[in-house]
């Protein structure tokens, strides 16, 4: 599933081709993805100017000049791609298409159909059921060691599971939680309530660093993920733990080996030598 860096990379790729432009046409080729598309979706978008493209956690927020906000989620394999000039015929998984006033086409392709598109309610995106209970943005000022300590207080679950809870911190997924815990030297098995303090400070720094590096590198490329311009991300070449089972731990001075275990049905990659 595309994680925060991938979604942020897509947002930045869409900005120059959508912001300030009018949506001249919208083509909807099926009634639903994970959920039904909102009623009259094409009619509500046609003729509207895109004021801003934002992001909340793993959700894209397309703000229009009439106050509407279209919320998009890429699901497991969804992608938004940009096409200029002569556009090839749509493929079987090109379910939604936006055409701008200068002829750019943006396609929402989703082979597994776990993505979604919906309009924000009158109260704004934060009032939408899928966004209402999200925790702080990990790159925002609200995410701090103190805030993390408060969210983890009393939690007996492993810290990895706690970080994947979107109510604790928004937008983190399996890959970057593994990477952040490795950088912070914290075992993914450690009980979440024991992290506050120095460990929480290290973890907040590690989360920020790994996400910033991944965004700068264009996100990670896993199977179907591509940036909005069609280019594959390449942060996976900088992974220190994820996908490196059996390799020597790259942490300076560490003599351990990267191991893999399963937690809550997901692979966890870690180094038992320095992650405690």
Options 58, 107, 160, 199, the catalytic residue? 58
Tell me, yes or no, if 3 is annotated catalytic: yes
Active site residue 19: no
Of the residues 2, 136, 138, 188, only one is catalytic, namely: 2
Question: Which one is catalytic: 3, 8, 63, 179?
Answer: 3
Using a 10 angstrom Cβ sphere, with 0-12 exposed, 13-18 middle and 19 or more buried, the burial of residue 204 is: buried
CA distance linking residue 45 with residue 10, whole number of Å: 20
**Strands of 57-204, DSSP E:** 59-64, 69-73, 79-83, 94-100, 105-109, 116-119
Q: Is 58 a catalytic residue?
A: yes
Point out the catalytic residue in the list 12, 190, 260, 266.
Answer: 266
Given a contact cutoff of 8 angstroms between Cβ atoms, the answer to whether 47 and 66 are in contact is: no
Task: Name 72's Cβ contacts closer than 8 Å, sequence gap at least 6.
Answer: 59, 60, 62, 80, 108, 115, 116, 117
Query: What are the catalytic residues?
Result: 2-3, 58, 266
């Amino acid at each position: 599933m595309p994680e925060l860096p991938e979604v942020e990379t897509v947002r930045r790729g869409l900005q120059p081709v959508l912001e300030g432009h009018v949506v001249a046409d919208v083509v909807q080729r099926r009634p639903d993805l994970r959920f039904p598309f909102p009623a009259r979706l094409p009619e509500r978008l046609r003729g509207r100017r895109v004021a801003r493209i934002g992001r909340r956690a793993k959700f894209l927020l397309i703000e229009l000049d009439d106050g509407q906000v279209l919320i998009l989620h890429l699901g497991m394999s969804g992608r938004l791609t940009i096409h200029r000039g002569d556009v090839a015929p749509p493929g079987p998984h090109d379910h939604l298409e936006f055409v701008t006033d200068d002829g750019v086409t943006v396609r929402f392709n989703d082979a597994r159909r776990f993505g979604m598109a919906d309009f924000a309610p009158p109260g704004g995106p934060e009032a939408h059921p899928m966004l209402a209970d999200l925790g702080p943005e990990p790159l925002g000022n609200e995410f701090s060691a103190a805030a993390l300590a408060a969210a983890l207080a009393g939690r007996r679950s492993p810290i990895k599971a706690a970080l994947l809870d979107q109510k604790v911190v928004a937008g983190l997924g399996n890959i970057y939680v593994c990477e952040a815990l490795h950088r912070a030297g914290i075992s993914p098995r450690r009980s979440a309530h024991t992290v506050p303090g120095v460990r929480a400070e290290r973890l907040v720094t590690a989360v920020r660093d790994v996400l910033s590096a991944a965004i700068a590198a264009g996100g990670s490329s896993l199977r179907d993920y591509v940036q909005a311009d069609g280019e594959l991300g390449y942060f996976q070449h900088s992974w220190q733990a994820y996908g490196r089972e059996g390799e020597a731990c790259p942490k300076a001075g560490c003599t351990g080996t990267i191991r893999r275990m399963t937690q809550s049905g997901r692979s966890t990659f870690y180094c038992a030598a320095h992650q405690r």
